[in-house]
Amino acid sequence: MTANAPVIISTDPVPIGGRLDFWQSQVGSLLTHLECSSCASDTFSGRITAHLSQPANLIKIGAATHEIARAKPKLSQAGEEQVFICLQTEGEAIVEQDGRRGVLKPGDLTLLDTSRTFSADFPASMSQLVLQVPKALVRKQIGSVERFTATVVTNHSPIGSVTNEFIKTLARSYDRLPPAMAQRLTEHATEMAMMAVASCVENEGAVRSNASNGKSLLASRARAYIETNLRNASLSPADVAQHLGISRRYLSTIFASEGQSAERYIWDRRLARCARDLRDPGQSSRSIGDIAFGWGFNSLPHFSQSFKTAFGKPPRHYRKES
């Protein structure tokens, strides 16, 4: 069984004079409300292929030259809190958000937050792969999204190159993959892209480090270290602090400024990883204990109680209903 058929939207059947309005309407329905304009409105064309899944959608967009702008969301649009992870595959894109301006060339990627204003200019025919992800999910992994918007991860960086190839290969193969595998790989692509953006900001900060952004950069480094070491049952805030070269008290201050603790963050990320594996049909033969211990838990009763508190049902019921 392969993945569900994608949703395809094309301007081809639409009379030329109405294509731009049609495009804006369809993009608004599928992605988020945007204002679209084009200097080539008389010859505009575009096509969207959307692979819809949970928790992230993978969407291919190809169109003639145009500009898009996300105005301040209306109250009726307040629930549309999503993040677009945009990978440029053809042409260029000039993106602006939160006072940052970036130019995307083929192979580069960036992140845009639909809950606030942004703009993107495509000066020539373009193609992008877009991962559409709930903002809450992004915030859990990298913290405050505002620090990363319109940051460009170039294809010349090692992590940018690896992420670029992974997402493009996934898009080419999506239709031939079993649904559960396609969903799992889309989650991996999302995590890789977020790690790439966070790493880029961290590296830039190392060059121009200052007191105003120091905590944000340390928080990103802490999350990346935790994500890499979640399987280590002995992972503790003290380990994280030592890796960063700071005191445990200062680490607590960094996490407290974002309304959580380092211990809670480690715990939540482990629970999220376990939930993902319990949903995965490919891991149905693994016992719940094996999955829990594999992500660093060392007490099955304690894990089961924590999982029920986080997800509203015991892990066994969660697996059956997924």
**Lowest-confidence segment of 18-27, 45-54, 65-74, 138-147 by average pLDDT:** 65-74
- Architecture label for domain 7-176: Sandwich (2.60)
Cα–Cα distance, 72 to 70 (Å, whole number): 7
pLDDT in tens, 62-114: 999 999 888 766 544 445 589 999 999 999 999 999 888 899 999 999 999 99
> Mean pLDDT in the chain?
86
Is the pLDDT at 307 greater than 90? The verdict is yes
CATH class name, domain 274-321: mainly alpha
Query: What global pTM score does this model have?
Result: 0.68
134 membership: H or E segment, kind and range: strand 126-134
Domain ranges across the chain: 7-176, 274-321
Cα–Cα distance, 3 to 8 (Å, whole number): 15
Residue 132, CA distances (Å) to 12, 31, 51 in order: 24, 8, 10
Cα–Cα distance, 132 to 129 (Å, whole number): 10
> pLDDT value at position 3?
58
